[in-house]
Amino acid sequence: MCSVLGTLVIAAAGLAPGAAAADDAQSKQWYLDAMGAGDIWKISTGKGVKVAVVDTGVNPDTPSLKGQVLVDEVPKVAKYHVTQDYDGHGTSMAEIIAGTGAGGGIKGLAPQAKIIPIRVGLDQLKDQDERAKSLTGPKAIRAAADSDAKIINLSIASEYYDSEEEDAVKYAASKGKLVFAGTGNDGDKGNKPSYPAAYPYAIGVAAIDKNGTVGKFSTYGNLADLAAPGLDIPGWCDTSFTRYCPTQGTSNATAIASASAALIWSAHPDWTANQVLRALIDTAVRKWPKDEPSKYLGYGAVRPRRVLMDKDINPGPANRDPLAAENGTDPDEDITATVTPSTAPSGASAKPTEKTDPASGPTAAAAKDTDSGSGTQTWVIIGAVAAVLVIGGAGFAVLRARRNA
C-alpha cells in the first residue's frame, strides 16, 4: 500500500499568465454568468449547508472569507494549523465555493454556505516536521466525515491507490456525505488513474472551459462522473493573498461542483446525498444518452439552475445510489446502513475497468441554453457541430460509448 502522505498534490494544472488585483477578481469569474448565478441566488445561496474543504488549509481572514470559515467546528484531530494555508490553494477553493465577494474578492457560487477547513499534508508542504504533524489523506477525509459538513471537497489527486483512503471515502459516504474529487490533470501526460476520484463513492469532476470544451489536461476515463468550469478561474497567486491569478485544473471544477450541490441541498434540506447527486446528474448538460456517459465528461456539466427552477423535480429514491454502475455496487445497497472494509487489492481501484479506446465519448461543443428563459450562455457537451473535435491538438472521433468494460 502506498501511503497517501507525500504523494497527494493539489489538483491544479498551474497558473495562467497574468494576474489581477484582489478588487478585480469578480470580473474574471466568467462561469457565474454562464451558469446563471444571478437567477440562482434568487432561489438559493447555499445557506445552512457546510462544506468541508480538505486541502492546504484555509485563511479565514481574506475579505471574501471573513465570517465564512467555521474554525470552531473543525474536529479536534484536525485542528493543527488549519487556518495556515501553506500554498493558497485551499483558500482559493473555499472562496470559489462560499466566498462573499467582499472587498472585490472571489464571489462563491454558494455565497452563504459555510466552510469547515481540514488541512492535509500534501507535497506542496516542504517542511518535513510540518508534514509529520499534518493529517494524511485518509485521516483528513475521516475527520471531514465526522464533521457537520454535508459535502466534502477534495481538490487533490494522486496516481497511487491507497486502501485506507478508499475506506475513508466509503466511510464518508456511509455518513451521508457527498464526496467530490478532481479527476486530476494528467489527461495529456499519460492519463494515469487519479485517486481519490477513482474510488467508489467519490464523484469525479472533470474540467471544462468557457466554450464547454474539456481541458486537454483533464484526466479522463470512468472516474469522470460530472464536469464543471475549471479553466481561467481566478485563485490566489500565492500565500501573500494580495493578487489573484487565472488558474487551470480540476481543482476549480471540483469546488464549483461542491458549490452546486450546496445550492441544491440548501433549497431541499430534506433530500439525501443520493437525491442531490441524482438531481445533478439528471439535469447535467449533455446530448448523449444518460446511460452512456462520456469518458471525458461523465454525465455532463453541472447546472444547478435547472434543479432550482424546477418546482416539480423528482429526486428519486432516497437510498438508491445513482452511480451504482460506476461504483460497482448493488444499486439498492444503503451505504449509510453499514461500513465494510475495502477488498480491492493494493495498487488497483475497486471501480470497474474502463475501456481502453481513448477516442470514445463526446468531448465538447457550446450551445445556447434554450430552456433558461434568460438567454444565458451555457454548455452542451456534445460533438454536434462537427464529426471530429480537437483536444490538445489531437483529433478524436465523436462516438458515444460506455466507459465501463
Question: How far is the C-alpha of 191 from the C-alpha of 85, rounded, in Å?
Answer: 29
Question: How far is the C-alpha of 91 from the C-alpha of 249, rounded, in Å?
Answer: 15
Q: Does an H or E element contain 254, and which?
A: helix 250-267
> What is the phi/psi pair of residue 100, to 5°?
-85, -15
Catalytic (active-site) positions: 55, 89, 251
Q: Which residue has the cell 488549509?
A: 57
156-157/178-182 β-pairing: unpaired
- Nearest to 180, CA basis, from 61, 320, 357, 298: 298
* SS3 readout for the chain: CCCCCCCCEECCCEECCCCEEHHHHHHHCHHHHHCCHHHHCCCCCCCCCEEEEEECCCCCCCCCCCCCECHHHCCHHHCCCCCCCCCCHHHHHHHHHHCECHHHCCECCCCCCEEEEEEECCCCCCCHHHHHHCECHHHHHHHHHCCCCCEEEECEEECCCCHHHHHHHHHHHHCCCEEEEECCCCCCCCCCCCECCCCCCEEEEEEECCCCCECCCCCCCCCCCEEEECCCEEEECCCCCCEEEEEECHHHHHHHHHHHHHHHHHHCCCCCHHHHHHHHHHHCECCCCCCCCECCCECCECCHHHHHHCCCCCCCCCCCCCCHHHHCCCCCCCHHHCCCCCCCCCCCCCCCCECCCCCCCCCCCEEECCCCCCCCEEECCCCCCCCEEEECCEEEECCCCCCEC
327: alpha, beta or left? (left if phi > 0; alpha if psi -120 to 50): alpha
How many other β-carbons are positioned within 10 Å of the β-carbon of residue 384?
Answer: 11
